[in-house]
Chain A
């Protein structure tokens, strides 16, 4: 049972434009959300996170938005750069739990 869903397997964007990645979750008990980035032949690396007490968290070019009522979060990358080409995973967990539930990932390709 997939509790975290990323319905867009891929996204292609021109360099300098905005990339928007979407993630939906079904379990209303999740209260901490993370985005991981993965390059080929490497492990995922942590990118940015957000707690359910917030609706936005920003870190440089990366911003995550959380809409609890819709059980939806999104990751915005502005401006997109060629080095952002990677697979992005959305993940979620319960308060003070250590286990993560992952989405299937979205492959982002930034075109020059």
Chain B
């Protein structure tokens, strides 16, 4: 199993450009998440999904959109990139909401908006 994979690893965007961060998991997990991590800060939840066709906002959803058409894929869309979106983005997945379930993270996408 590859686990959670993310592409690209690194991207530079100009202000106002758009892009899609890709996330794929091969563990047949129902739950998927997008986080951002800013320097000196913890991970903040952007969006999450409890299954194909179901998504919901997390703590910091403004400026982002998501879709979940399949169990495996959970892309994150930035429509009008802003310098405040410079961050490292992590995708994660988990199987169940039970007590012992944990989240598995991808390697991250580093985004720089100039």
Contact = CB atoms under 8 A, between A and B. Distances in A.
B107 A41 contact: yes
Nearest to B92: A43
Interface of A: 2, 4, 6, 9, 32, 34, 36, 41-46, 49, 51, 89, 95-105
Contacts of B108: 41-43
Contacts of A4: 42
Interface stretch (B12-20, B61-69, B72-80, B96-104): B96-104
Nearest to A90: B42
Interface size class of B (residues with CB under 8 A): 20 to 34
Interface of B: 4, 31, 33, 35, 40-45, 48, 50, 58, 90, 92, 94, 96-108
A98 to B, nearest CB: 4
Contacts, number: 59
State the majority secondary structure of interface residues on A.
Answer: loop
Nearest to B104: A46
Counting chain B CB atoms within 10 Å of each CB, the highest count among A51, A96, A99 belongs to A99
B44 to A, nearest CB: 8
B101 A98 contact: yes
A43 B4 contact: yes
A99 B48 contact: yes
Contact of B105 (A6, A9, A34, A45): A45
